[in-house]
């Protein structure tokens, strides 16, 4: 079709469309801290969207709208899981200390997918390491993808996980 037959939008660029972010098919379990982070992200995005609209930033509006849709969906489907009162075994919302084959120890908190941050020791309950640890007890030796680990300690996550 010739450009002559396309209606001009008064010189206004259309809002750039960004493809939606993929949503995990897994249950959306979150800790209290994860829920707080999610709500903070939604608030920041709403503020950013208002700013982009004020500045007529079409690309920014599209990008922020896409991210806001993602976080609103994640918030709608979030299932808050409180740390277990009994920490006899590794579960969601627990922090576990492990000793590797080489004698080094590591500490991981098992959290929701959107909360995961390996640099902070926060691993999603869906990753192979977490799946291998779930259900283990102190003293158990567990096969993980990179070898074996011994469970040294298990505690509930309290407040800020980082």
pTM of the shown model: 0.83
Residue ranges of the domains in the chain?
27-80, 94-156
Q: How far apart are CA 85 and CA 67, in angstroms?
A: 35
Q: How far apart are CA 132 and CA 51, in angstroms?
A: 45
CA dihedral (21, 26, 31, 35) positive or negative: positive
Helical spans, DSSP H, in the chain: 32-54, 58-77, 128-133
Looking at residues 138-162, what average pLDDT do you find? Answer: 87
Q: How far apart are CA 134 and CA 128, in angstroms?
A: 10
Helices and strands, number each (H, E), in the chain: 3, 7
Class of domain 94-156: alpha beta
Helix (H, G, I), strand (E, B) or coil at 46: helix
Looking at residues 138-156, what average pLDDT do you find? Answer: 95
- pLDDT band of residue 13 (cuts 50, 70, 90) is low
């Amino acid at each position: 079709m010739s450009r002559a037959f396309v209606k001009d939008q008064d010189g206004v660029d259309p809002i750039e469309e960004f493809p939606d972010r993929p949503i995990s098919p897994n249950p959306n379990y979150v800790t209290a801290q994860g829920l707080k982070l999610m709500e903070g992200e939604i608030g920041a995005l709403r503020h950013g969207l208002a700013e982009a609209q004020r500045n007529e930033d079409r690309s920014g509006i599209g990008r922020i709208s896409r991210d806001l849709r993602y976080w609103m969906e994640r918030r709608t489907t979030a299932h808050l899981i409180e740390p277990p009162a009994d920490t006899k075994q590794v579960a969601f919302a627990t922090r576990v200390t492990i000793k590797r084959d080489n004698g080094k120890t590591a500490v991981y908190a098992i959290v929701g997918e959107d909360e995961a941050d390996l640099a902070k020791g926060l691993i999603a309950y869906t990753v192979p390491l977490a799946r291998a640890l779930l259900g283990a007890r102190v003293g158990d030796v567990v096969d993980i993808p990179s070898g074996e680990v011994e469970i040294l300690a298990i505690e509930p996550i309290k407040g800020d996980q980082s």
